[in-house]
Chains A and B, each alone.
Chain A
Amino acid sequence: MNRYSRQQLFAPIGEKGQRYIRKKHVLIIGAGALGAANAETLVRAGIGKITIIDRDYVEWSNLQRQQLYTEDDAAKQLPKAIAASVHLRAINRDVVVEPIVADADARLLDDFVARERPDIILDSTDNFDVRMIINDVSQKYDVPWIYGACVGSYGLSYVIIPNETPCLRCLLEEVPLGNATCDTVGIISPVVHMVVAHQTVEALKICVHAQVNRKLVSFDIWQGQYRMIDVHKLKKDDCPSCGKTRTYPALQYENETKFAVLCGRETVQIRPARRGEREWTTLLLFLEKCGIQVEQNDYLCSFTVDGRRFVVFSDGRVFIHGTNDIQEAKRLYYQYLG
């Protein structure tokens, strides 16, 4: 019996669609909750190849929702990309699974997509810096990407097809700072699956050359709210990512968020590319909600989590005291300050 028989019986896919799916290469960026579920769905569906990039390792707090990982992975602190690839190969040995343990920065993504030309990029990341890089790489090499994000019980998804739909920069204009993150307001697993259901159905449609949903979809699964908005009017001719004159700003070094060790101070400084607009009120509200005590003056606020002291300046800079490790600082920064 063909393992894909039920999927092939579904008329919009059929045997022909299954053959298309088998030939596709999907790049999944991030191997957290979204990445693990996206990867598992596509591997079970019989995709040709997936590449999964992640810089982090498996921790106990991941097991509640990051469906591919086991207690053993957390005990061994395995890199997520490696642990994911082991489980994915056990699920379907016919799929080529390529793990990359690395930070998905502009250089890595630009080089990878230029060389490999994946058919789809699936966003499974946890911050806007990397999403803006994905957005520019997608436009530069004409590869569709599917935004997906969630926090609490709220999630959203949107398909970006270069030269057709508005891109993420058309919708967002700039990188939000100090947003809610899963580490400040928490997250429940069902909303992850709802986002992944939307991302993977659109990925399958792209694979079989069906018409994708061009609307921005958002939902709150706890409240039972679901909405779709037609955003095609927001496409901007002068967008620096997808407009007539493109500069791909997120691929320029000066626009990257920069991390630097402050010598002799056991401190890492983080300097976002955009200055001076950190959203204090929302940040403070969220930190308070999570019971994190915040001290504040006119110029900065500070708080301690995971044994590390964070100092957030109003010009956007952040110090993380108690570490010289840039990778750890990076993880903490995106965990708590989105």
Chain B
Amino acid sequence: MRCIINGETIHLPSHVSTVAQLLHHFHIHKKIAIVEINMHIVPKEDYEHTAIADGDRIEIVHFVGGG
């Protein structure tokens, strides 16, 4: 599957089909990430059952603590 993640076209392996799996794939802890698919924000409680599809535009923002 091919998605546009943070502006870049990325090929995802076949076992990545939900938002939760996507975050896991990128080693991002779901509790500190905000995910938007095709301009719609995904509530955290929906990560497990929100599917991602070929061609989706996905934005992932993760919080950091530094400064």
Contact = CB atoms under 8 A, between A and B. Distances in A.
Nearest to B32: A176
Interface string A248-289: 000000000000000000000000000000010110010000
Given A171-B34, A229-B41, A230-B41, A176 B29 contact: yes
Interface stretch (B13-21, B48-56, B57-65): B57-65
Chain B, interface SS category: loop
B66 A234 contact: no
Contacts of A154: 64
A176 B64 CA distance: 9
Interface of B: 6-7, 27, 29, 31-32, 34, 36, 41, 43-44, 59, 61, 63-67
Contact of A234 (B27, B34, B63, B65): B34
B7 A32 contact: no
7 contacts: A123-B67, A151-B64, A174-B31, A180-B64, A192-B67, A227-B59, A229-B59
A318 interface: no
B40 to A, nearest CB: 9
A2 interface: no
Interface string A113-126: 00000000001111
Given A149-B63, A150-B66, A338-B64, 11 more contacts: A33-B67, A149-B64, A154-B64, A181-B66, A182-B66, A216-B61, A225-B6, A227-B61, A229-B59, A233-B43, A234-B43
Contacts of A127: 65
